[in-house]
Amino acid sequence: MLSTIAYGLAVVLSLFCVLIGARFLLAPQASAAGYGVPVKPDEDPAYLTIKGLRDLSYGLLGLALIAFTSAEAVAWYLLIVAINPLGDTLIVLRHGRKAVAFGVHFATAVVVLLNAALLFAL
């Protein structure tokens, strides 16, 4: 049962990363607003593309690790990946809305860290 929950949550988190990355690549302005730091329509969207590729690749890497490695390897991956939403929290706190920083990014970091703990427990 614990294994199903731990791996299921890891798959869901990885798929969310893939979807967020794809959204940043396909609809960068709307994605930036949802991220918590909107950009002006005339600004260069380079950082939005970078974020999209980053999230997409992290999600795909997570799915590959889930499919081909051990629970411990996936747990270490999630532990390291938690740096991203924690960093995003700080970025949004500095440049955006606190509600989004804590309600989206920090909450995501907590879920990722809890998922890592579940996988380490297997």
Q: In total, how many domains does the chain have?
A: 1
% pLDDT > 70, the chain: 100
pLDDT for res 67: 98
pLDDT for res 19: 97
pLDDT for res 44: 79
pLDDT for res 12: 98
pLDDT for res 78: 98
Q: How far is it, in rounded angstroms, from Cα 115 to Cα 105?
A: 15
Mean pLDDT score of the chain, rounded to an integer? 95
pLDDT digits (tens, 9 = 90+) for 75-89: 999 999 999 999 999
Q: How many residues does the chain have?
A: 122
Q: What residue ranges in the chain does DSSP mark as E strands?
A: none
Average pLDDT rounded to a whole number, residues 62-74: 98
Phi, psi of 41 (to 5 degrees): -55, -30
Write out the residue range of the structural domain in which residue 13 sits. 2-121
